[in-house]
Amino acid sequence: MDKGRILLAVTGFHPQRWHELLSAERDVVLEPDGPNDPSINYAVVWKQRPNLLTGLPNLRAIFSIGAGVDHLFQDPSVPDVPIVRVVADNLSRHMTEYVVWRVLDHHRQGALYRAQQARKVWHEPQQRVAHDISVGIMGLGQLGRAAANALLGLGFCVNGWTRRETRVEGVSTFHGEAGLIPFLNATDILVVLLPLTPDTQGIVSYDLLRELRRRNGLGGAVLINAGRGKLQRDADILRALDDGTLKEASLDVFETEPLPETSPLWNHPKVFVTPHAAATSDPAHLVKPMLDQMSAFERGEPLLNLVDRAAGY
């Protein structure tokens, strides 16, 4: 197979760095030469324009710039070629840092100390033991498993919920619809690392949050969402925080992004907001493996980290 040409199709951020690094090895264009451009062999995409990829007759594969591919499927006309998503140590490490940071902040009562400092209060609350806290991770994929291992290393009990039956050493695993309530009932701090699919959209609802465990001196259940905003219902989270169903939340993702200025989540005293920044796709780490995959594919080797279209992730 000859050395294929790349269409780099991104919206929402400047493609310059991706363009520079991809161009080091291959011919890269930012727009096809007409709707049926035969010269395009690969598409590297983030929230591409609808129908952009539809008519390209020689498209061999699509590479998503992120681990999640929900942005791709917002265009129902995405052609039936293999879709490769990002799996990278660099991304897993950033996500693990975010999850550990937020779990520890809730566990070690960061919000209380910040409020005390503002009032110059010298008071030491009782310290809890990590082993008494169960962190439940929805989604034990590349990112969820890495975070689970780090939390186990810190002494937390870890539960995991997946679509199919899964085993991860040291983690109590649950799966499918039947496993969801038992998983929630055994979880004090809920970490959401699911992909956004038709099955998972809106899953983090008030009714789900009500099932979380509330004991072990945490003073209430905690939600951490670093998956996708449309997994959650912002209004349900506010309701849960306001009536005590949730003690606190750390949210990296929101139903609407950027989070509108009018959202009460911005100023809520029990909410820690980050701007979809838990684990950013860094071209310095991701372009080389992408280019290597294209070369390997052209030598006849299989593509790795393929998306299962039927499952949507």
Active-site residues: which are they? 228, 276
Helix (H) or strand (E) holding 185, with range, is: helix 176-185
What's the min distance (Å) between Cβ of 200 and ligand NAP? Answer: 5
Q: Using CA atoms, how far apart are residues 143 and 67, in angstroms rounded to an integer?
A: 9
- Coil vs helix vs strand at 64: strand
Closest residue to ligand NAP in the complex (CB): 141
35 DSSP assignment = T
Q: Using CA atoms, how far apart are residues 154 and 1, in angstroms rounded to an integer?
A: 49
Q: Which residues contact 58 (CB under 8 A, 6 or more apart)?
A: 38, 39, 40, 41
Q: Based on the shown chain and the rule CB under 6 A, indicate whether residue 195 belongs to the binding site for ligand NAP.
A: yes
- Tell me the CB-side half-sphere exposure of residue 36, using CA atoms within 13 A: 1
Residues in the chain, how many?
313
Q: Considering only residues 15, 32, 136, 139, which one is a binding residue for ligand NAP as defined by CB under 6 A?
A: 139
Q: Based on the shown chain and the rule CB under 6 A, indicate whether residue 276 belongs to the binding site for ligand NAP.
A: yes
Q: Residues 90-109: x/- map of binding to ligand NAP (CB under 6 A)? A: -x---x--------------
- Coil vs helix vs strand at 102: helix
Q: Based on the shown chain and the rule CB under 6 A, indicate whether residue 194 belongs to the binding site for ligand NAP.
A: yes
Residue 127 in tokens: 């310290």
Using CB under 6 A as the binding rule, the residues of this chain from 37 to 76 that contact ligand NAP are: 66-68
At position 260, the amino acid (one-letter code) is P
Q: Considering only residues 32, 144, 283, 289, which one is a binding residue for ligand NAP as defined by CB under 6 A?
A: 144
181-210 burial string, b = 16+ CB within 10 Å, else e?
A: eebbebbbbbbbbbbbbeebeebbbbebbe
Contact 281, 13 (CB under 8 A): no
Distance separating the N- and C-terminal Cα atoms of the chain: 28
Using CB under 6 A as the binding rule, the residues of this chain from 197 to 256 that contact ligand NAP are: 197, 199-200, 226-228, 252-253
Q: Based on the shown chain and the rule CB under 6 A, indicate whether residue 166 belongs to the binding site for ligand NAP.
A: yes
Contact 85, 305 (CB under 8 A): yes
Window contacting ligand NAP (CB under 6 A); options: 54-62, 100-108, 124-132, 134-142: 134-142
Residue 46 or 161: which CB sits closer to ligand NAP?
A: 161
Residue 40 or 231: which CB sits closer to ligand NAP?
A: 231
What's the min distance (Å) between Cβ of 223 and ligand NAP? Answer: 14
Of residues 148, 198, 183, the one with CA closest to residue 312: 198
For ligand NAP, how many residues bind (rule: CB under 6 A)? 32
Q: Using CA atoms, how far apart are residues 157 and 47, in angstroms rounded to an integer?
A: 37
Q: Based on the shown chain and the rule CB under 6 A, indicate whether residue 164 belongs to the binding site for ligand NAP.
A: yes
Q: Considering only residues 40, 88, 140, 222, which one is a binding residue for ligand NAP as defined by CB under 6 A?
A: 140
Q: Based on the shown chain and the rule CB under 6 A, indicate whether residue 163 belongs to the binding site for ligand NAP.
A: yes
What's the min distance (Å) between Cβ of 206 and ligand NAP? Answer: 19
Q: Considering only residues 279, 287, 291, 294, which one is a binding residue for ligand NAP as defined by CB under 6 A?
A: 279
Residue 68 or 136: which CB sits closer to ligand NAP?
A: 68
What's the min distance (Å) between Cβ of 198 and ligand NAP? Answer: 9
Q: Using CA atoms, how far apart are residues 205 and 240, in angstroms rounded to an integer?
A: 9
What's the min distance (Å) between Cβ of 5 and ligand NAP? Answer: 28
Site residues (CB under 6 A) for ligand NAP?
66-68, 91, 95, 139-144, 161-164, 166, 193-197, 199-200, 226-228, 252-253, 276, 278-279, 313
